[in-house]
Amino acid sequence: MTDRLTATIRVVCPVLGVSVGTPGDSGTVRIDYAPEATAPQRQAAVNALAAFDWSEQAQAAWELSVSRQAALTSLLSRSDDTAIGVRAAIFAVCDLINLRLEALGQPKVLMLEILGYIQSNPTIGDPQ
C-alpha cells in the first residue's frame, strides 16, 4: 500500500518518500517532503493522506490499474507474435470504425483515443 499512498501524495506534493508504520493508521505515516515542497503542497499531502482509502478493494483496483498500464505499454513495444497480432487487430478495428464514421460524415477516431479509452475504463480487460 505504500506505493499507492506515495503515488497519491506525489500527485499533489513533491516528496522524497513515504513510510507507513501500520497500514490503515494514518497517524503512523511519515512523509519526507522534497526541499522544494511549498506549504500549500504540504497541506495538500496531509489532506491526501487523510482521504486515503486503506481498503483491500482500493488496493486491488490500483494494482489492476498499474497492471493494465504496464500491459498496454508492453503491448505497444514488444515484437513477439502475440503483441503484433493484437496491435494488428486494434488497428483493423480502428480502420473499420473510421470507414463507417467517414461514411456518416463524422470525424475519425485516433488510435490514441482508443488506447486512452482502454486505459481510463475501469473494467475493460479485467478478469471475470
The model's confidence at residue 15, banded by pLDDT at 50, 70 and 90, is very high
How much is the average pLDDT of 25-46? 97
The model's confidence at residue 37, banded by pLDDT at 50, 70 and 90, is very high
What is the residue-averaged pLDDT of the chain? 91
The model's confidence at residue 4, banded by pLDDT at 50, 70 and 90, is very high
How much is the average pLDDT of 93-117? 90
What percent of the chain is predicted at pLDDT more than 90? 64
pLDDT at 25: 93
Number of Cβ within a 10 Å radius of residue 18: 21
What percent of the chain is predicted at pLDDT more than 70? 96
**One-letter amino acid identity for 53?**
D
Instruction: Catalogue the E-assigned strands of the chain.
Output: 15-20, 29-33
**One-letter amino acid identity for 64?**
L
pTM score above 0.85 = no
Q: Name which of 47, 51, 13 is nearest 32 in CA terms.
A: 13
The model's confidence at residue 123, banded by pLDDT at 50, 70 and 90, is confident
